[in-house]
C-alpha cells in the first residue's frame, strides 16, 4: 500500500471526524434567545454585571422601562436595553416612592416563604403585630433591641428573628466565620430562645451542628437588600429600621401593619 494512499486515507478520516464534530457542536448549541424586551433587559444587566443574579423582571410604572430586582437592588432598564437608571422612582402626583412600594411587595412575598419553624420567635400570647428582624448575635444595636424584647411583646408586637451573620458565611480564609458557627449553634440548640438570649448577653452557645437555615436566611437577606443589622420589616414588607425603641416600633407597625392597628 503506497504512502500516497495512506495520506489520502488519513485525510479522509480526518475530514469525516471534523465534520462529525462540527455537526455535534451545532446540535449542542442552545437555540438563539428570542429578542423580546424582557430578554433584552436581562442581557443588558448581564453585560454590565456578568455575575448579577436577576430575581425578577417586570414592567415598570414608567412607560418604556422594565423594573429589575437583582442582587439586592432595584434598577430600571429601557425596553431596548439602551438605558439603565438606578434610584427611586417617584410618583410626582402622589409624592410617593414607587421603588419603596415595589420593594415592600417583593419582600413581603419572599419573607412569607420562610416558615415560622425556621425563625426564633418572641411573642405575646395574642400578638397584634408581627415584625421580622434580620439579626446578628454580636451586633451592639441588635443586643440593645433584644434587651427590650419584653417591652415589645407588652405592646403586642411579636418579634421573629432571622439569622444574618454580618461577617458572612465563609471568611477570607475559606472557612465558616465564627459568628456563622455561633448562630448555627443557636439555631441547633435544644432551646433556641434561651440560647439566643444568652448569646445576646455575650455568652457563647454550646457548639452544636444540625441541618439549619442560617445560610439560607443570610442569602435571603442579601436578596432583599439587607446591608446591616438589625434590619426590621413590617407585615407589609416595609423596612422600618435599624434599631427602634418600643414606642417607635409600635408607631411604625401601626402605620404599616396589615392588621390595620
Tell me the β-bridge partners of 241: 232
Let me know the angle formed at the C-alpha of 226 by 134 and 250, rounded to the nearest 5 degrees: 50
Among the listed residues 142, 192, 204, 219, the single catalytic one is 142
Instruction: Return the bridge partners of 76, or none.
Output: 67, 85
Long-range contacts from 207-216, C-beta under 8 angstroms, 24+ separation: 207/181, 208/184, 209/184, 209/185, 210/184, 212/184, 212/187, 212/188, 213/114, 213/118, 213/163, 213/187, 214/163, 214/165, 214/169, 214/180, 214/183, 214/184, 214/187, 215/169, 215/180, 216/118
126-162 as b/e, with b when 16 or more CB fall inside 10 Å?
ebebbbbbbbbbbbebbbebbebbeebbebbbbbbbb
Catalytic residue selected from 119, 139, 143, 188: 139
CA distances in angstroms from 137 to 44, 50, 149, 203, 218, listed in the order given? 39, 34, 14, 10, 13
136 is a catalytic site residue: yes
Cβ neighbors of 224 (< 8 A, separation 6 or more) are: 72, 106, 107, 110, 111
Our answer to whether residue 10 is catalytic in this structure is no
Catalytic residue among 42, 136, 143, 188: 136
188 belongs to the catalytic site = no
Residues acting as catalytic residues:
136, 139, 142, 166
Amino acid at each position: 500500500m503506497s504512502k500516497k494512499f495512506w495520506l489520502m486515507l488519513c485525510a479522509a478520516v480526518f475530514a469525516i471526524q471534523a465534520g462529525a464534530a462540527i455537526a455535534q457542536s451545532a446540535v449542542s448549541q442552545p437555540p438563539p434567545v428570542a429578542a423580546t424586551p424582557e430578554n433584552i433587559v436581562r442581557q443588558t444587566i448581564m453585560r454590565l454585571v456578568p455575575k448579577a443574579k436577576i430575581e425578577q423582571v417586570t414592567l415598570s410604572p414608567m412607560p418604556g422601562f422594565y423594573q429589575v430586582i437583582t442582587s439586592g437592588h432595584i434598577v430600571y432598564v429601557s425596553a431596548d436595553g439602551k438605558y439603565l437608571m438606578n434610584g427611586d422612582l417617584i410618583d410626582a402626583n402622589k409624592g410617593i416612592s414607587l421603588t419603596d412600594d415595589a420593594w415592600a411587595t417583593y419582600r413581603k412575598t419572599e419573607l412569607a416563604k420562610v416558615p415560622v419553624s425556621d425563625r426564633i420567635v418572641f411573642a405575646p400570647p395574642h400578638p397584634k403585630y408581627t415584625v421580622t428582624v434580620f439579626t446578628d448575635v454580636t451586633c451592639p444595636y441588635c443586643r440593645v433591641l433584644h434587651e427590650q424584647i419584653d417591652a415589645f411583646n407588652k405592646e403586642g408586637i411579636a418579634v421573629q428573628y432571622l439569622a444574618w451573620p454580618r461577617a458572612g458565611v465563609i471568611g477570607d480564609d475559606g472557612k465558616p466565620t465564627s459568628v456563622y458557627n455561633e448562630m448555627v449553634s443557636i439555631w441547633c440548640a435544644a432551646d433556641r430562645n434561651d440560647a439566643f438570649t444568652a448569646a445576646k448577653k455575650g455568652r457563647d452557645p454550646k457548639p452544636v451542628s444540625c441541618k439549619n437555615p442560617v445560610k439560607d436566611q443570610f442569602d435571603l437577606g442579601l436578596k432583599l437588600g439587607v446591608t446591616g443589622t438589625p434590619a426590621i420589616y413590617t407585615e407589609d414588607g416595609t423596612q422600618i429600621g435599624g434599631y427602634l425603641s418600643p414606642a417607635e416600633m409600635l408607631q411604625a407597625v401601626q402605620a404599616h401593619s396589615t392588621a390595620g392597628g
